[in-house]
Amino acid sequence: MSTFDTYRKLAAGPLHSTATSFRMGAGYLGVWTDRTPRLVTLGLKAWEPGPAADEAVHHFWDELIEAAQCSTDAALQELKRGIDDLEACAQVDQSPGTGTAQPTGKSDKA
């Protein structure tokens, strides 16, 4: 294995981790950006006195839990994508007859 291949493999982990973290944060931010106006509206309705306040509190908590689940799903999806990308980068094939490893850039996982 050449020195360049060694450096490339050493750099792949942090680079993929950074990209994955960015994508996870962007997905998380997107979910909460979409859900925040509805949560604020429900929160304000819950503060108003009257019979609608109890229903607004119930809907607020339902919406909050749903938003948390969606943001977690988005983060996990990006984490799985990052792992697949890193595995694809690290995959190597033995070149026949040369005894040297060559990156394939392909992952066996779908």
CA nearest to 81, candidates 2, 7, 20, 12: 20
pTM value is 0.66
CA nearest to 87, candidates 20, 4, 2, 7: 20
Residues 6+ apart with CB under 8 A from 102: 92, 93, 94, 95
Confidence of residue 100 (pLDDT cuts 50, 70, 90): low
35-74: pLDDT as tens digits: 999 999 999 998 888 888 889 999 999 999 999 999 999 9
Residue 4: pLDDT above 70? yes
Q: For 28, list phi and psi in degrees, rounded to 5.
A: -60, -50
Residue 93: pLDDT above 60? no
Task: Summarize the confidence of residues 77-90 as an average pLDDT.
Answer: 87
Residue 107, Cβ neighbours under 10 Å: how many? 15
Q: What is the pLDDT of residue 66?
A: 95
